[in-house]
Amino acid sequence: MRVVHYFDYKSPYAYLAQEESLALADLPGVAFELLPYTLDIPDYLGRAEIGEDGAVVVDERTPHQWRRVRYAYRDCRREATRRGLVLRGPRRIFDSSVAHIGFLFARRRGDPRPYHDAVYARFWRRDLDLGDADAVAACLAETGIDAGDFPGFLEGEGRTEHDRLREEAHEIGVFGVPSYVVDGELYFGTERIPRVRERIEDNRASSGP
């Protein structure tokens, strides 16, 4: 059974879902695939930027959008604290497509998990600019990947692959993360992981020994 997990490094909910999501790969009979999906946050939550002193320096959000954003980060920080994770809200909206293309680069060169885990942890400590090509290349190198060809990949083949994957995600109905596609059926949100597991178990039961 094919299970695709869509993630975005700048989503706190996707970050908190990683342990449970990646565990799906260990289930018998599962062909698991990680794919990036770059969210267009200003499209539904507006755009804002926070200065070093905590003051809002760019504000293109409605009061309703601010309520949603503030709740989301409070909610995610509660859960992160419970798990012993660091989750510091970013001061601006990042272009995560560069880090996502870094993931595609890492995947072509072997196991992308060390890079994947490092990007998530560093970004939510405010220790990585997802849109900085040099910072992403450094993260690749730190996780054992020769990043010499990354700038060319970023501007060419990698960008093309990123855009193609995003369009394919839209065609099957993906609109946010974390999302899961199980044999063509879409599930959205961490709370749907148990349903994904049930679907896998049902498939294994119907397939027999």
Q: Quote the pLDDT of residue 3.
A: 97
- Phi, psi (5° rounding) for residue 9? -60, -25
Sheet containing strand 2-7, edge to edge, reads: 31-36, 2-7, 179-182, 185-188
pLDDT for the residue 40: 86
Contacts with 100 (C-beta within 8 Å, 6 or more apart), sequence order: 8, 9, 36, 38, 162
Higher model confidence: residue 142 or residue 57? 142
Structure tokens at 84: 């012993």
Predicted confidence at residue 207, as pLDDT, reads 74
CA 139/CA 121 separation, integer angstroms: 11
pTM for the whole structure: 0.89
Residue 173 Cα to chain centre, angstroms: 17
Q: Which residue has the tokens 């770059």?
A: 38
**What pLDDT, on a 0 to 100 scale, did the predictor assign at position 126?**
95
- Long-range contacts at 163-166 (CB < 8 A, ≥ 24 apart): 165/35, 165/36, 165/37, 166/37, 166/38
Q: What is the mean pLDDT of residues 129-138?
A: 97
Domains and their CATH numbers in the chain: 2-207 (3.40.30.10)
